[in-house]
A and B are shown apart, each in its own frame.
Chain A
């Protein structure tokens, strides 16, 4: 039976000034189920809390309503006081008579009347409160990091350094990501590989990190602390345990003309290959689409020359299940395909290249050994036009957002170009310069002032090839207010940054939200920028939004910190606001299954003792349920209910508001 205590707080004068607290307490004393009702100056003070605790103990209260400030302020305080007195903390509720009443109404009579009703509402709710226990789930202290770029590597290293195991899943043959392809990095012009490769090696050799390259996430089950991720390990056709990475195979492979993805198509690779010389692991894979042995059963040269017999043409994709407690998604980005910009040649002009191609041209380890040569004929371009915002900030044909990194890397490109081709002319077309990082603005100024890059504010309307092979770049100088035409030997487009293809599918597997462009959604744009709606799934790097290296690395470390925080307890404790299905009454229409934002509602087979299925009903996974109650509201027979906000409670509250 309910034996409720009501405690009305004056909050000094804050409530008492406009609400007659004694009158509220007196009115509450007459509410059904209330056995004790008092008012006091400061309920949250030690004496106030003691008063509550004493009443709980002495009067054997079964529930408590504290009429005071917003529960956002002191619900935790009072609930822990209740718990100390031996009352289940979820049997205490707060009536908000300060923020929602005394502070917003001046009329004492009206405010007091309202306060009485607010208390009444919470009394009716509390009478129907049930003792709840926080949900506890065990945590598997192993993390999975999806994506082996710099963000993924950093997250993995930080988690590993924290003493927890990490599985690093990379879809390509090597970790390293886009950063491995860069020549130098802004604004310091460090050699990208020089700073990255030690990290790659460290990741590969760290005892807490297990690399799974050439692998993809195929399926996800479970929930925070208890994910079971099925990883598809793509067939490499080379046994990495036997392979020493000697290179005999790829040097002998007759397929020599395959455009290298790593080199943006400017260089070539073989059918059996490592994507780049510093690859980690430095073990080749066979490109099944290009290998004549796999395609037509002819050749097999690599197998013949391998001194270790590591080549295995019978290799197949394998599925491996990995149990992890947390996941960091660091799937990175790719460049928007400028083929839809017909006015820039639509991808058909060989000397109109993207930023990565320029990076490879400028890289000492690139196909030209660091010499800037234009793709069409290998000549050194004497005039290069850089066009910013290619696809970015273009709602009509491209993408509405700013890709953030292009201003900086274009400045870097112009600078590198001028360093390598001293008599070359670099012209940059831009909309605005957004150089907001540390040392960034100075860097851009250096490109202009020291390295002589010509910055033209305006859009390029057209790029086309003249008979003689030179490119005509027509644009407008909006500052000068006149059209501009530049004859160029090469054009570099700063293509927009967009999420990797297939990132939506991965998000769906993990229950992570994503925006219309495919960038993963953080749980809160300000305060939870690393978390996602899926508990235990964190974000790092450009999969969330365009980011430069320091931002990506910082977020990766943040994701690692979140992961380590999660792993710091053997069990997770969660608010017990959980939806529950009444199996007897469920008709299995599956509305709730479709509705749940967390994929927490699944089919459940009710079986008899012999194991045969009697019926299928919906069931809520406690680990996944976040307690929004949306499933409850779509259930037509109301056979789902939400602990903490039950139908009975809400019904009683609405009934308490009935007009006389």
Chain B
């Protein structure tokens, strides 16, 4: 390292998986072992990174895979120049990565507690790393429930993993699609996430809820979670503001005085409510 904090490390695409229309998961292996070691020394679930293609730029996504692997994964949708370039890369091609950056979910404080994951559409990737991290250490935690919905069946990401979770007795998985988004052979629920969420059992003491998804879903889910007994300090989400540097310098991710890249991206509902709402 030459001390250039903007210098990404080289990764190699190990696997590419199409999750949904224009949504892809890349599994990236570190080209150089020291980079991998440096990453995993710091990485905790919830952190994000900047994935890039030289010549096109960098884009910010969460790290969607848990610690304890020798790779990292990210899941993204085509949105602009960088994501298009990432989609254009093949298995075996290099890409770049910077990170991990930001704070993380307080997973250690959840030991022995119940966890409820609520996700919509492309909002599952930030929670997936947490879910896998929990499942890796399943015995340390209480009940694990996942409510995941998408607009249509096609828009559900991680379909194989969903099937795997559905088959586990230690995970309670509810999948749902918006009315009209079902296919003839759809076995899951039909209905919006907040509606389905209402049927979940009340929060046990100390339980935490993690919510990620489209703003409208989050907004409508919060009162439901309150109704289930989750306090604002026990509801977690991530903010995804536009970033360029990821390291607290470029000046565009802040919400009020909070730098999402350094103080976030993980916030409790209580923290989010203290932010100037108009800046979100």
Contact = CB atoms under 8 A, between A and B. Distances in A.
A59 to B, nearest CB: 12
Interface in B77-126: 87-90
B90 A127 contact: no
B106 to A, nearest CB: 38
Residue of A1, A3, A33, A35 most packed against chain B (CB within 10 A): A1
Contact of A33 (B16, B87, B88): B88
Contacts of B87: 1
Contacts of B90: 1, 3, 35
Interface in A23-38: 33, 35
A33 B88 CA distance: 8
Contact of B89 (A1, A35, A127): A1
A33 B89 CA distance: 8
Most buried by B among A3, A33, A35, A127: A33
Nearest to A3: B90
Interface string B248-278: 0000000000000000000000000000000
Interface of B is mostly: loop
Contacts of A1: 16, 87-90
A2 interface: yes
A1 to B, nearest CB: 5
Contacts of B89: 1
B74 to A, nearest CB: 16
A646 to B, nearest CB: 13
A127 B88 CA distance: 9
Nearest to B86: A1
Contacts of B88: 1-2, 33, 127
Instruction: Please indicate which of the listed interface residues B16, B87, B90 has the most CB atoms of chain A within 10 Å of its own CB.
Output: B90
Contacts of A3: 90
Most buried by A among B16, B88, B89: B88
A2 B89 CA distance: 8
Interface string A1-19: 1110000000000000000
A652 to B, nearest CB: 11
Interface in B1-33: 16
B235 to A, nearest CB: 32
Contacts of A33: 88
Nearest to B90: A1
Contacts of A2: 88
A35 B16 CA distance: 17
A127 B87 CA distance: 12
Nearest to B89: A1
Interface string A511-524: 00000000000000
Nearest to B87: A1
Interface string B205-217: 0000000000000
Nearest to B91: A1
Nearest to B16: A1
Interface string A59-103: 000000000000000000000000000000000000000000000
A435 to B, nearest CB: 67
A648 to B, nearest CB: 9
A33 B93 CA distance: 10
A595 B87 CA distance: 36
B87 to A, nearest CB: 6
Nearest to A35: B90
B244 to A, nearest CB: 22
A546 B165 CA distance: 82
A653 to B, nearest CB: 16
Interface string B200-241: 000000000000000000000000000000000000000000
Interface in A108-147: 127
Contacts of B16: 1
Contacts of A127: 88
A127 B89 CA distance: 12
A647 to B, nearest CB: 13
Nearest to B85: A1
A518 B280 CA distance: 62
A134 B232 CA distance: 55
A3 B90 CA distance: 9
Nearest to A62: B88
Nearest to B81: A648
A134 B90 CA distance: 30
Nearest to A2: B88
A3 B93 CA distance: 12
A35 B87 CA distance: 16
A585 to B, nearest CB: 14
A3 B92 CA distance: 13
A2 B90 CA distance: 8
Contacts of A35: 90
Nearest to A127: B88
Nearest to B93: A1
Interface string A32-53: 0101000000000000000000
A33 B90 CA distance: 9
Nearest to A33: B88
A3 B16 CA distance: 14
A302 B103 CA distance: 98
A30 to B, nearest CB: 14
Interface in A183-227: none
A399 to B, nearest CB: 57
B103 to A, nearest CB: 33
A194 to B, nearest CB: 71
Q: Report, nearest first, the 8 A-B pairs whose CB atoms are least far apart.
A: A1-B88, A1-B90, A2-B88, A1-B89, A1-B87, A33-B88, A3-B90, A127-B88
10 contacts: A1-B16, A1-B87, A1-B88, A1-B89, A1-B90, A2-B88, A3-B90, A33-B88, A35-B90, A127-B88
Interface of B: 16, 87-90
Given A1-B16, A1-B89, A3-B90, 7 more contacts: A1-B87, A1-B88, A1-B90, A2-B88, A33-B88, A35-B90, A127-B88
